Amino acid sequence: MHIEILVEDSSGTKLIDSLMPQIIGPQGEPHTWRFHTYKGIGHIPKNLDARADPAKRALLNQLPRVLAGHGRTPGTGAVVVVLDNDNRDCKVFLEELKAILARCNPAPRTLFRLAIEEMEAWLLGDRSALLAAYPKAKKDTLNRYVQDSICGTWELLADAIYPGGSAAIRKAGWPLPGQVKHEWAERITPHMNVEHNASHSFGKFRDGLRQLVVAEG
């Protein structure tokens, strides 16, 4: 099966790409995948029939056009859309995403998955991997984290492993937040075991991918 994977930023792409071989096997053996990395999550257009502004490289802004395009493209086995939930109501958000898909004719086989609250929750879900990458991490800070909670997830991770914590990153401003998130994914994922992750949202992502390729087989 060939899978097109839509991710809202480069750190998320790095995280998922590093773990794909553990989840469904090496690239091309037998499954293949390609990433489409966007510049943020954006907003679902109010008018789903309106032509998307190509200058807006946010995932939700482009999603109606992209899903419709994949529905008309031969060779695409499935589309996987991975988004941070942030502080949205999960049920409502998923219904909004499914409504976009329902307007496609034909509609591509699509899996929507949400990271609760942010994809850094998946890194925090593997404490052993995190400590292998950052052995000096502040364990008292990590112990305050309630898995998959709405708590300022990336800020908590920063407070545990980044000199000066999230305050230093915020003070420096863009592009540092994106750079450090990419570095965290790059350093932590090589130590991760996808079979043992405390994040329920990661488990749903992993299992959803595996169900996709098994159903295809």
Q: In this predicted model, what pLDDT tens digit does every residue of 11-47 receive, in sequence order?
A: 999 999 999 999 999 999 999 999 999 999 999 998 8
Would the pLDDT of 213 be above 70?
Answer: yes
Q: What pLDDT is recorded for position 25? A: 97
Residues in the chain: 217
Q: What is the pLDDT of the chain when averaged over all its residues? A: 95
For tokens 């097109």, name the residue: 4
**What pTM was computed for the model?**
0.95
Phi/psi of residue 28, nearest 5 degrees: 85, 5
Instruction: Tell me what the mean pLDDT of segment 115-121 comes to.
Output: 97
Would the pLDDT of 52 be above 90?
Answer: no
List Cβ neighbours of 175 (8 Å cut-off, separation of 6 or more).
none
For tokens 């592009």, name the residue: 175
Strand arrangement, sheet containing 78-84:
32-37, 2-7, 78-84, 110-115
Q: What pLDDT is recorded for position 217? A: 59
Q: What pLDDT is recorded for position 48? A: 79
Class of the CATH domain delimited by 2-119+198-216: alpha beta
3-state DSSP assignment of residue 174: coil
Would the pLDDT of 50 be above 90?
Answer: no
Q: What pLDDT is recorded for position 177? A: 96
3-state DSSP assignment of residue 5: strand
List Cβ neighbours of 89 (8 Å cut-off, separation of 6 or more).
none
Joined tokens for residue 16: 């998922």
Give the Å distances, CA to CA, from 88 to 168, 169, 200.
27, 24, 17
CA 198 – CA 121 distance, rounded (Å): 9
Find, among 161, 202, 149, the residue nearest to 15 by Cα. Answer: 202
User: How do the domains of the chain map onto residue ranges?
Assistant: 2-119+198-216, 120-191
Q: What pLDDT is recorded for position 49? A: 74
